[in-house]
Amino acid sequence: MRQRFLLIATIVIVIAGCLAWLFAAAIGWTLRDIMHGTGSPQTASNARLAIAMFVMTGINLLALLVFIVRRNWGWWLLVIVQVGELVMSLVEGFTRTPSWWPFTGLAALTLLLLFMMERPPPAHFRRPITH
């Protein structure tokens, strides 16, 4: 029961993270040239960041699908993606704006759930395999 709860919670948190990345990317893309004009370097930087957030959404979704289908090495892939997301959001939180901290929290919570899930249940809770 605990493993199932952790699996469902992990999937829900990763989906919430994907939606947050998608929402932030859409806002970033829509407002990329609102303050500086079309040809400025800041507009190009904002556009690159929005594209990077769209890519991060896709990577998160792909890692989640692999995690659902292939739990063994999909777990490692999702851990690697979440560590990358955590590092990226920490760097952006320190260099750009503090509004990146919710992304840090989502990645850290996902990593916590993944590491809690990895521990096998006690031996007396395991069911024997019968055919």
Mean pLDDT of the chain: 84
Backbone angle region of 37, left / alpha / beta, with phi > 0 → left and psi within -120 to 50 → alpha? left
Q: Percent of the chain beyond pLDDT 70?
A: 86
Sign for the CA dihedral angle at 14, 16, 19, 21 comes to negative
Lowest model confidence (mean pLDDT) among 19-23, 39-43, 108-112: 39-43
Separation between Cα atoms, residue 51 and residue 72, nearest integer Å: 30
Where do the domains of the chain lie? 2-118
pLDDT band, residue 128 (cuts 50/70/90): low
Q: How far is CA 64 from the centre of its chain?
A: 9
Higher-pLDDT residue of 43 and 27 is 27
Residues 59-84 have pLDDT tens digits of 999 999 999 998 778 888 999 999 99
Residue 58 pLDDT = 94
Q: Percent of the chain beyond pLDDT 90?
A: 33
Higher-pLDDT residue of 33 and 47 is 47
pTM over 0.75: yes
Separation between Cα atoms, residue 69 and residue 64, nearest integer Å: 9
Residue at token pair 């320190």: 94
